[in-house]
Amino acid sequence: MTRMSLLACLFTISCMDRMEPSTSLAGSITCDTLTCGSGQICEDASSGAPDAGVSHGCVTPPDGCPVFDCRGTACPVCIAQTCAYYPELYDGVILSGRTLSCPGE
């Protein structure tokens, strides 16, 4: 193996270690009383007001936006931007499977 081939292999392996596993968006999911379709995630948004509850909705992430379990600034910006209080409450964003929890004020 040439030196260049070895460097290419090492670079590929190091990049693979940093890739997040992707969540499949195939099929529909239940989102409270709604049904989100293929390609969508369920958004649970807190209003922040006491006893105001949580609103639910279906969101389609932009093309090329990676979807994986994350919390706060570890979440892709393209996911966090779907929350009403982004960027102020970016640290409170949680994506678990296909459910996005957005903090309220």
- 71: tokens are 């919390």
**Would 62 be classed as within a structural domain?**
yes
In whole angstroms, how far apart are CA 19 and each of 10, 46, 58, 75, 85?
15, 30, 26, 13, 27
Q: Identify the pLDDT of residue 49.
A: 65
Which mean pLDDT values do the consecutive 10-residue runs of the chain (105 residues) have?
Answer: 48 44 92 96 82 86 96 96 92 96 83
Q: How many domains are there within the chain?
A: 1
> What's the domain range around 79?
21-102
Instruction: Kindly state whether residue 57 falls inside one of the protein's structural domains.
Output: yes
